[in-house]
Every structure is written in structure tokens, then in C-alpha cells.
């Protein structure tokens, strides 16, 4: 609340009108910037959230004219603020409350009315974030049977960290599904812009969800155009390219939102569970909306059908995402030096087919790839390796990490 009042006071002192959206999931703030609510049309929003970061973190996700405000722009804003003289003023007036949450729920209930009385019960793990505030009333209105874990918002995250991309954070949901014979489940991050989907025998990565969503579009007579990011499996790109079109782009929700708008692709997906739908929606990452789109898959298929779709894809072994601690100052220099070293690799280095440098270094080998990139938000390098089998993936890993150390 302190951050809200300080931010509101600063905006008011700059002559801006401030509206209070209350405690909401991040996608509701985006929704408010894209829609007229209570006769108010405001294409700008600021979401105060630490997302899936440790509980002591907090920050602002800024939308300006329905576009993410990020990168060089946000760095320039930081420099402006640090160099400006500030007169701290109290709130002039209490910001007017706007009920964007109910407007968002009405919109999704109408758009997904065909899900009413879905025959499957679903399990949900909200990780003590704010996702339940948005999704549970929608599911009740659609008469979808569900069972929730950790639906009460609690910034101390007493049960587990709200990061669904980490397998350890899905253990409670898996156990709950087993004990209650529930065949499909979903987990959300703290501010509900990232999702994980689980069935009885599989945890679906973001790129696997992309394949399922693309296949459904294709079955509806649409040739899907899908944007992935540099961490996505080559299997995803190859599979979708057999019946549609793909584009590889930089990791990061702001990057993908801009590219989605620029290309008018149907949707974009990140490994971490950010899913952005432009087809039928507004092109921002919304885990609650993605959950409902995933439930549409169950209108024509069973959870075991979805598992079989993934099981029948060409096999590849992918290492877990690993982080390498470096200083914030040197992380990009290390990537630059790696790019230079790859121009003249050692004689024993695996054969390189292609080097993709849109975000870090993705080295495409004959039977897989290796990726090393600088994290957008933390002082780490992030690595990921894929091969036709575990031996091949680990060979690529050793080769690239050895080059990194030189």
C-alpha cells in the first residue's frame, strides 16, 4: 500500500489523474488499459507486483498507450528521476476506484460460455498469489468443477514459492491431483501472468502448450503463426512449421508483446509459461485466459489424448534451465566474448549449423542446440541445452561451457 500511495502522489503532483484498480491479477491491469470500464478509457496502467520474485522484491509493470514500457525507455526514466529534484507531496485526493476485475470476469464468462458444464474437474494451485481472485468466480459462473490450493493472497508465500516453472513448486498440486483422482491441473505465479499445466503423467512446458494450442487452431482451419523465444525447443518450431509458421524472438514478456503486435501472429509463448494470445484476445500474457483456452482443448480431447500428442513428438533430451552467477556489469560482456570465440571454435568443437544472436547465443548443432543468454532481471547467465539424447545434450553443454570459461 505504501508503494501505491507514493506512486499515486507522484503521479498526481505531475498533473495526472489516478484510478485505483485495487488488489488484482496483472492481466486485469492490462485488460483495463485495453477496454473502456465504467465509462473510463485509459490506455495506461501500472501494476505494482513482485511477480514470482522472492517476497522482498516489488516493482512496477508499466503499460503506456497499450504498449509495454521497458528496456531503454525505463532506463532513461530511471536516469531522469535520479537527476531530478523532487518535492515529496502527500496524496492530494484519494484515487477513484474502478472495478476492472468484474468487467474482466464478465468479458471472459461471455467469451468462454461454451465451456459451461465442462465434464472434467480441474485442480488449481494459486501459490497464495492473486490468481484466485480473478479465476474462481469465472469457473463458478461457467459451472466448472474445480478444487483449489492456496487461493488466499499472502505475500509471505507460506506454502511454496509461486513460480510454476520450477518442478518443486508443483509437488503439492501433483499430490492433490493423485489423491482426488483429478486428471488435469493448473498452477499460476504470484500475479497470474504465467501458467503451468499438468495431467496425470506429464507437466507441460510452455513450448508444449504452444504445440497444443497451434494444433487446435489448425484443426479449426486456421494456419497458425506462432512466436516462440530462444529457450523454446527446436521440436516446437519444427512441429508447428509442418502445418503453420513460427518466428523465434527474444525472451521477455515485453519483447514478445511488441513482436506479437508488430507481426500480428496468433499467439506467442515462453518456456516459463507466459502465453500471449492475439487471436480472439488483446496480445498480452494472461495465465487465467490461457487456462480457459487450455480447457477448450478438453472439449474435443481427453487429458490422455493431450499426453499422447506430446509423447508422439520426436524425442529430444533437454537439460533443466541452469543459472550461472555473474555480476550485472559483466554479463553482457561475457556473451559478447562468447560470440567472438564462436567465430573460430576449437577443432574438436561440435559442428555448428547456425548461430542465432537475437538474445544471447543460441548455437544450433546437427542434433540439437545450446543456449547461453543474460537474464533480463537478475545477475545471471541462463543456459539450456537440447540434443537427440542425453549424451548429445551433455556433449553440447560441455563444449559451450568450456568455451565460455576461456
Active site residue 316: no
Q: Coil, strand or helix: which one is 338?
A: helix
Would you give the distance in Å from CA 243 to the centre of its chain? 24
- Beta strand 317-318 with 275-277: parallel, antiparallel or unpaired? unpaired
Q: Coil, strand or helix: which one is 404?
A: helix
63 and 69 Cβ atoms separated by less than 8 Å: yes
Q: What letter does residue 351 receive in the DSSP assignment?
A: P
**Biggest alpha carbon–alpha carbon distance for the chain:** 69
Q: Coil, strand or helix: which one is 146?
A: strand
From 272, 268, 286, select the one nearest 382 (Cα to Cα). 272
> CA–CA separation, 139 vs 313, rounded Å?
32
> CA–CA separation, 71 vs 259, rounded Å?
14
For residue 328, give the C-alpha cell.
Answer: 550485472
191 and 176 Cβ atoms separated by less than 8 Å: no
> CA–CA separation, 387 vs 394, rounded Å?
8
Long-range contacts of 351-358, Cβ-Cβ distance < 8 Å, separation of 24 or more: 356/230, 356/248, 358/230, 358/248, 358/249, 358/250
From 374, 336, 337, 342, select the one nearest 355 (Cα to Cα). 342
For residue 388, give the C-alpha cell.
Answer: 537427440
Q: Coil, strand or helix: which one is 64?
A: strand
Active-site hit among 51, 199, 254, 272: 51
DSSP of 49-105 = --TTS-TT---EEEEETTEE--THHHHHHHHHHHHS-------SSPPEE--HHHHHH
Q: Mind telling me the catalytic residues? A: 51
Amino acid at each position: 500500500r505504501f508503494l501505491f500511495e507514493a506512486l499515486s502522489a507522484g503521479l498526481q503532483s505531475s498533473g495526472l489523474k489516478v484510478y485505483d484498480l485495487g488488489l488484482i491479477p496483472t492481466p486485469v491491469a492490462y485488460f483495463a488499459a485495453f477496454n473502456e470500464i465504467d465509462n473510463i478509457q485509459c490506455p495506461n496502467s501500472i501494476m505494482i507486483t513482485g511477480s514470482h520474485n522472492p517476497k522482498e522484491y516489488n516493482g512496477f509493470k508499466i503499460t503506456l498507450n497499450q504498449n509495454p514500457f521497458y528496456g531503454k525507455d525505463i532506463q532513461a526514466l530511471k536516469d531522469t528521476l535520479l537527476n531530478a529534484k523532487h518535492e515529496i507531496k502527500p496524496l492530494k485526493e484519494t484515487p477513484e476506484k474502478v472495478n476492472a476485475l468484474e468487467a474482466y470476469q464478465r468479458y471472459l464468462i461471455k467469451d468462454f460460455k461454451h465451456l459451461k458444464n465442462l465434464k472434467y474437474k480441474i485442480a488449481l494451485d494459486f501459490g497464495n498469489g492473486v490468481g484466485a481472485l480473478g479465476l474462481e468466480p469465472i469457473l463458478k459462473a461457467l459451472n466448472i468443477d474445480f478444487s483449489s490450493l492456496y487461493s488466499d493472497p499472502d505475500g509471505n508465500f507460506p506454502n511454496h514459492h509461486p513460480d510454476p516453472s520450477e518442478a518443486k513448486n508443483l509437488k503439492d498440486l501433483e499430490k492433490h491431483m493423485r489423491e482426488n483422482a483429478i486428471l488435469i491441473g493448473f498452477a499460476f505465479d504470484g500475479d497470474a501472468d504465467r501458467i503451468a499445466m499438468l495431467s496425470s503423467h506429464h507437466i507441460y512446458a510452455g513450448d508444449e502448450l504452444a504445440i497444443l494450442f497451434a494444433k487446435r487452431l489448425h484443426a479449426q482451419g486456421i494456419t497458425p503463426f506462432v512466436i516462440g523465444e530462444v529457450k523454446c525447443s527446436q521440436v516446437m518450431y519444427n512441429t508447428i512449421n509442418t502445418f503453420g509458421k513460427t518466428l523465434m524472438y527474444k525472451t521477455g514478456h515485453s519483447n514478445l508483446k511488441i513482436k506479437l503486435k508488430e507481426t500480428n501472429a496468433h499467439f506467442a509463448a515462453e518456456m516459463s509459461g507466459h502465453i500471449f494470445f492475439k487471436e480472439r484476445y488483446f496480445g498480452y500474457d494472461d495465465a487465467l485466459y490461457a487456462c480457459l483456452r487450455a480447457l477448450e482443448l478438453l472439449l474435443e480431447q481427453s487429458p490422455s489424448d493431450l499426453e499422447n500428442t506430446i509423447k508422439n513428438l520426436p524425442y529430444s533430451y533437454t537439460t533443466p534451465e541452469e543459472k550461472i552467477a555473474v555480476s550485472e556489469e559483466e554479463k553482457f560482456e561475457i556473451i559478447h566474448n562468447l560470440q567472438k570465440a564462436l567465430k573460430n571454435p576449437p577443432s574438436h568443437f561440435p559442428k555448428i549449423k547456425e548461430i542465432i544472436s537475437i538474445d544471447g547465443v543460441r548455437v544450433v548443432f546437427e542434433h540439437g542446440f545450446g543456449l547461453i543468454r543474460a537474464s533480463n532481471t537478475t545477475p545471471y547467465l541462463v543456459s539450456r541445452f537440447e540434443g537427440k539424447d542425453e549424451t548429445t545434450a551433455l556433449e553440447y553443454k560441455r563444449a559451450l561451457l568450456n568455451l565460455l570459461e576461456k
